[in-house]
Amino acid sequence: MATGDLRDFIELLEKHGELQRIQEEVDWNLEMGAITRRCYDLGAPAALFEKITDYPRGFRALGAPMGPSKTPGHSLYARVALALGLGPDAGAREIMDVYLARKEKTIKPIVVKGGPCKENILLGKDVDLLKFPIPFIHGGDGGRYIGTWHAVITKDPDSSWVNWGMYRLMVHDRNTMGCLFPMQQHIGQMYQRYEARNLPMPAAVAIGGPPVIPIVSCAMLPAQVNEVEVAGALLGEPIPLVKCETVDLEVPATAEIILEGEVLPHERKVEGPFGEYMGYEAGKSSPKPVFRVNAITHRHDAILTVSNMGMPIHESQTVLGLTKSADIYSELRRQGLPVKGVFVPPYGVGHMVVVATETPFINFAKRVAHSVWATKPGLFTYYIVVVDADVDPTNMDEVLHALTTKCHPVNGIHQVPHTPGFPVLLPFLPPKERLLGDAAGVIFDCTWPKDWPAESIPVKATLENLWPFKKPEK
């Protein structure tokens, strides 16, 4: 099964040639980010930085923990596969099948009295975020980002629902951070409810720990689903949690670093910009909520996990792309649609979804597309390509062939204005719409029209179709 500790995961990556130890001194100021960026560009192993400028030995950082792999014999998704206990050759389809099969059997966490994350406890004036080798990742970033591959843990004020999500966190000073909490995401909605009551939102940040934690934290699961129970399902056993020191929340016992505190109501401070998941510096600096850190607990020789967002391919594609594909497929099947496969292509940065389906009636592609947009994981998709069931959605050669031979350049393309978009981050939107998240969508219908007579549908020129295996009878 999956591994339950970041340090065990590091050993597993090293065993399979998916880790490189960087023992030369590396500067946290841009150099660490640049090396991590090259790991993505080259498909090189994850980088464990063991000597960082201005920090004592022992404080380390892991860059590109689940980046793409070009190791011979491994799939692009090798590190994700290893995190789930699969072989490094497991491809997209196998990983998605395993993810869906496991996540349906959720496992509740267990609360334990202590754990490695409590080896060091810092309170009051001892709280200092810059104790850790937080990188200045991209030139042009608004600051140093401690939250790039982690889980932000918050509790709904009106129910028992605890949300684990991944939202970027920029360090302002020793004990405050800037937060990007869009209203379209669960944490933004929770924060809105706290702020309406003039209450701070208790929050904790878990960095490191079981690698399934960031996987579920960036998955787009429905409201009222406790991600920690899905993490247990992926791990195959309960996630051990410990109580926080200063807030009424529970955090992973084996995490490397825990930040505890509260997001203040009606307080804003400038955050951003940041090189973002879609491949651009996005979200210009603007006032955003402030997370005040009141306590830090951490392991001895803590390891900070770092994802360097930017041009694909990085964790947003290798992890979020797969969970998004699988979750959309599951939702469409639950609606009774005859879909055969769903895939979010890595270079589509999560904005494109390909759906392979049977087409029982005319204009069925529109039915499929609007069903995708109605799901939580399909919320921030803008380009939906619907193909026939004989097309493999994970094979971009087949998808491109279907797009250019079956999709009518006028009648097969359907524009959908004013769909929800990820606010401030979408490069294709003009400034006003970008700020509001007022986006648009498009449907590419690459299926044969149901109102065509059978003899009008072209026969695919393949070996199977045009060269029969039996000799014709004389």
Among all residues, which ones are annotated catalytic? 276
Separation of alpha carbons 23 and 42, rounded Å: 20
Separation of alpha carbons 294 and 128, rounded Å: 10
Parallel, antiparallel, or unpaired for β 383-388 and 438-446?
parallel
Separation of alpha carbons 264 and 262, rounded Å: 6
Classify residue 334 by its DSSP letter.
Answer: H
| Residue closest to 371 by CA, chosen among 452, 363, 186 | 363
Separation of alpha carbons 245 and 231, rounded Å: 23
Phi-psi map region of 147: left, alpha, beta (phi>0 left; psi -120 to 50 alpha): beta
Separation of alpha carbons 187 and 164, rounded Å: 9
Separation of alpha carbons 375 and 369, rounded Å: 10
Burial 65-87 (b: 16+ CB within 10 A, else e): bbbbbebeebbbbbbbbbbbbbe
With 0-12 / 13-18 / 19 or more C-beta atoms within 10 angstroms meaning exposed / middle / buried, residue 63 is buried
Q: Which residues contact 174 (CB under 8 A, 6 or more apart)?
A: 127, 128, 129, 130
